[in-house]
Structure 1
Amino acid sequence: MQPTNPNFTHTFAPPVMEARRWVDGRNFPAHRPLLNLSQAAPVDPPPEGLMQAMADAILTDPAAHLYGPVLGRMDLRTELASQWSANYGGSVTSDQVAVTAGCNQAFTSTIATLARAGDEVIVPLPYYFNHQMWLDMAGIRAAYLPTGDDLLPDPERAAALITPDTKAIVLVSPNNPAGVEYPAPLLRAFFDLARAHGLALVVDETYRDFHSAPGAPHDLFRDPDWDDTLIHLYSFSKAYRLTGHRVGAIMASPARLAEVEKFLDTVAICPPQIGQIGALWGMRNLGDWLAGERLEILARRDAITQGFARLPDWTLMGCGAYFAYVRHPFDARSDAVARDLVDRASLLILPGTMFGPARAQGGSGQAEATLRIAFANADRTGISDLIDRLGTLTA
């Protein structure tokens, strides 16, 4: 039998793919069709102008079909640096920007330069499952930082987890899966903690464009030496509906990106050219459109909040960006509850056990009691339908 890397067998199967298998081959009643709230990805195509820009590049730009720079097209890197400097009130230069094949690659390449097998990375609970999977496969220990009912991590509790093996602290805000937005002072406290201990603070802001507050969500880029501590991750998938084109970004020191370049060159050589062309066109032309998308997501968030207020047996723990994180009322583990919701309510929702350790693995019990609802693909009518279906269930 061929050998298998035990780090890969140690981690779990891709959660969204596992959930899809729950409904493969299933027929759902016409009066209650499947409502798929499992994946945080837009299903509509990009705006027509953006698609036209990509189509034109395919037909008229021979260079778009060739290898590009490993760290991404310079025009996109320069635009990112300019807009981030303006939006965050700090200074970001093009040599502090890399483009990646999606934000997951931004994360994996970053962690690969920070830590090796046996090292530790502090990760708040609940975690984003692909982050956990990469740490497992790399042999890096996730030092879990529990959160309470507000789902916000505590810097003082994080400080107690730091050991000589700790290399980084990873935060996601707005959070996947919890939906909560980390306040600017909290992010600053983690920045100060990381700097004091010589650690990297990795902040994944994939859902930044749907933050409930206007303006910059934090002031970290205003620090003149931000890149000695902060590594910022971003995704174009949600902003411009480019999920299939895989475009993400890293903002970090030039020295860090020189190490990232080694990783990227061995994995994908370069990020997809056509997706980068689309992302650049979107950044230059879709500001007003993206502002409208943000308002629609915020309206759906409000619909979720109002809907769960009508479900006294359910607790809405966090809600923001694409996600609602809820405590269910059933005397069963969340993985069993999620499977049961497929049968009883034609709902596909991910269980908390996909976002943190169960009690048997040292967890607090939060994972078994919670569910993540990815509501961005449900309009307000669909959200009303979700609330109605949950309201018919009894514990």
Structure 2
Amino acid sequence: MTPLNPNMKATFAPPVMEARRWIEGKVFSDARPLMNLSQAAPVDPPPEGLVAAMAEAILSDPLAHLYGPVLGNDVLRAELATQWSQAYGGEIAPAQVAITSGCNQAFTSIMSTIAQAGDEVIIPLPFYFNHQMWLDMQGVKARYLPTGDDLLPDPEAAAGLITDRTKAIVLVSPNNPAGVEYPPALLAAFRDLARAHGLALIVDETYRDFHSSEAAPHGLFADSDWDDTFIHLYSFSKAYRLTGHRVGAIMASPQRLAEVEKFLDTVAICPPQIGQIGALWGMQNLGDWLAGERLEILARRDAVRQGFAQLPDWQLLGSGAYFAYVRHPFDAPSDVVAKRLVDEASLLVLPGTMFGPSREQGGAGQAEATLRIAFANADRAGLGDLVTRLAPLSA
């Protein structure tokens, strides 16, 4: 075999693709079809008006088919700066905004400007698997910050992990996979910790549009010097059902984004034009629609909470945004349990072993005991069926 980068070999296979292989060749009955709650992605197309705007651009806008600015179209950057400044009560300039081909690319590009092989990054457990995969591929060591049953990271515990190789702290709120929302005071404490040690604080807010509070999720942008420490990541995929069009965003200092531009130019040259057109149209026209989507997701979250209250052997550790994170009652590792649920309940979910180290890898056992359920992919009736399928199963 020709040479293979050992960092690529060392990381794990993409979890969602791995889970899909568990259902290959299986037949599910009409009475109990497969319920796929494994991937956190909208299954419906974008609203009709947004689709029409993208279609019109394809037909009538010649620029939609050409390379655009590496850091994204100016009009979308300006719209994000304006709306985010209003929503967060801060001052964000268009020069502090970049558009990327999805939020995963936002993370990889930012991290490429921060850490090199041998450096360290602090990430809470359970982690978002694509963050871990990128660190693995770059030879950057993840320093795990354990969480308890509340799934909230502790800044004091994080301080104990900082070494002379630490470059950043990465948080996801609302959290993937745990669903929990980090309180504003907690995020401010992490900002203060990062600033005191000269670290970057990266907060992935892919699911901010489905936060349970109508107030700003945090006050980090209200700090006049926010961009000396804080880096914000965002995705349009969930808000406007644009997963296939790959549109994300970064907010950081102009100096940082000048380095990001080098990465993006060598990877994708520019973010997709049609996706950016759709994202801009959505921001300018779908405020009320998105507010309704948020309420529907919150209603599904409530349905999950009510449902698991009927399953005394299961423990709902976290629920919010698109996710429920549960402790299963079985005397088996979560990857074994997840595969069993395919056969015994026609249910596909992701095991905690995809979101953290096993005991053999130095973990505390949380990974083996937990499952992630992407409940946003089912309506409220479907979530009732989820409970019905789990109820007869026992350890």
Question: What interval of TM-score do these two structures reach, taking the shorter chain for normalisation?
Answer: over 0.9
Shift of 1:26: 1.2
Moved over 4 A (4+): none
What are the equivalent positions in structure 2 for 1:9-158 lying under 5 Å apart?
A: 9-158=9-158
Whichever residue aligns with residue 165 of structure 1, its letter is R
Indicate the SS of the match to 1:182. coil
Deviations 1:287-344 (A, max 9, x none): 0000000000000000000000000000000000000000000000000000000000
SS in structure 1 of the partner of residue 33 of structure 2: coil
Bigger mean CA deviation after superposition, 130-139 or 18-27: 18-27
- Report the alpha carbon displacement of residue 393 of structure 1 after superposing the two structures with TM: 0.5
| In structure 1, distance between residues paired with 2:215 and 2:185 | 15
What whole-Å deviation, never above 9, does each CA across 1:260-279 have from its counterpart, x for those lacking one? 00000000000000000000
Q: Any residues of structure 2 matched to 1:1-395 within 5 Å, and which?
A: 1-395=1-395
- What whole-Å deviation, never above 9, does each CA across 1:192-234 have from its counterpart, x for those lacking one? 0000000000000000000001120000000000000000000
* Length, aligned pairs only: 395
- Whole-Å separation in 1 of the counterparts to 2:341 and 2:274: 39
> What CA distance in whole angstroms lies between the structure 2 residues aligned with 1:149 and 1:375?
20
Offset at residue 25 of structure 1 (A):
1.9
Equivalents in 2 of 1:162, 1:84: separation in Å? 31
Unaligned runs of at least 5 residues, structure 1: none
Q: Quote the offset at 1:29 in angstroms.
A: 1.5
Instruction: Return the alpha-carbon distance in structure 2 between the equivalents of residues 365 and 85 of structure 1.
Output: 41
Separation (CA, whole Å) in 1 of partners of 2:28 and 2:394: 21
Deviation at 1:392, TM superposition (A): 1.1
Could you give the per-residue CA deviations for residues 135-184 of structure 1, whole angstroms, max 9, x where no partner exists? 00000000000000000000000000000000000000000000000000
How far, CA to CA, are the matches of 1:273 and 1:94 in structure 2? Answer: 18
1:181 partner SS: coil
Q: Distance in 2 between matches of 1:378 and 1:321?
A: 13
SS in 2 for 1:42: coil
Q: Secondary structure at the match of 2:234?
A: strand
Determine the C-alpha separation between the residues in 2 that align with 1:24 and 1:73. Answer: 41
Work out the CA distance in 2 between the residues paired with 1:270 and 1:35: 36
Describe the SS at the equivalent of 2:22.
helix
Distance 1:103 1:255 in 2: 20
State the distance in 1 between where 2:246 and 2:219 align.
28
Structure 2 stretches of 5 or more lacking a match?
A: none
User: Secondary structure at 1:307's aligned position in 2?
Assistant: helix
- Structure 2 length-normalised TM: 1.00
Q: Per-residue CA shift, 1:106-132, capped at 9, x if unaligned?
A: 000000000000000000000000000
TM-score by length of 1: 1.00
Cα root mean square deviation, aligned: 0.4
State the alpha-carbon separation in 1 of the partners of residues 163 and 27 from structure 2.
52
In the aligned structure 1, how far is the partner of 2:369 from the partner of 2:43? Answer: 29
Distance 1:189 1:28 in 2: 49
Q: Aligned partners of 2:183 and 2:91: how far apart in 1?
A: 21
